[in-house]
Chains A and B, each alone.
Chain A
Amino acid sequence: MIRLEQIHKSFDSQEVLKGISGQISQGEVLAIIGPSGSGKSTLLRSINLLERPTSGKVYIDGACINEGKVDIGKIRTKVGMVFQQFNLFPHMTTLENVIYAPLKVKKMPRKEAEILGKALLKKVGLGDKLKTYPPHLSGGQKQRAAIARALAMEPEAILFDEPTSSLDPEMVKEVLNVMKGLAHTGMTMVIVTHEMGFAREVADRVWFLDEGLLIEDSLSQAFFASPQTKRAREFLEKVL
Chain B
Amino acid sequence: MIILDFERIWPSVPYILKGVQVTLTYTSVSLCLGFVWGALLALCKVGNISALRWFAGFYTSVFRGTPLLLQLTLIYFAIPQLTGYIISVWEAGVLTFTLNSGAYVSEIIRGGINAVDKGQREAALSLGVSYSSMMKDIVLPQAIRNILPSLVNEAVDLLKESSLISVIGGADILRRANIVALEKYLYFEPLLVAGFLYYILVMVLTIAAHFLEKKLKTS
Contacts and interface: CB of A to CB of B under 8 A. Distances in A.
Interface of A: 48, 50, 73-77, 80-81, 83, 85, 87-91, 100-101, 104-105, 146, 149-150, 153
A153 B138 contact: no
A153 B128 CA distance: 9
Interface of B: 117, 119-120, 122-130, 133, 137-138, 141-142, 145
Interface SS, B side:
helix
Contact of B123 (A74, A87, A91, A104): A87
Nearest to B134: A104
Contacts of B127: 76-77, 80, 100-101, 105, 149-150, 153
B126 A104 contact: no
A89 B120 contact: yes
Counting chain A CB atoms within 10 Å of each CB, which of B123, B130, B133, B141 scores highest? B123
A76 B137 contact: no
B126 A48 contact: yes
Contacts, number: 59
Contacts of B126: 48, 50, 76, 80-81, 150
Contacts of B125: 50, 76
B133 A104 contact: yes
A73 B120 contact: no
A1 to B, nearest CB: 17
B122 A83 contact: yes
Contacts of A75: 128
Contacts of B142: 90-91
Contact of B122 (A73, A87, A88, A91): A87
Contacts of A146: 123
B145 A101 contact: no
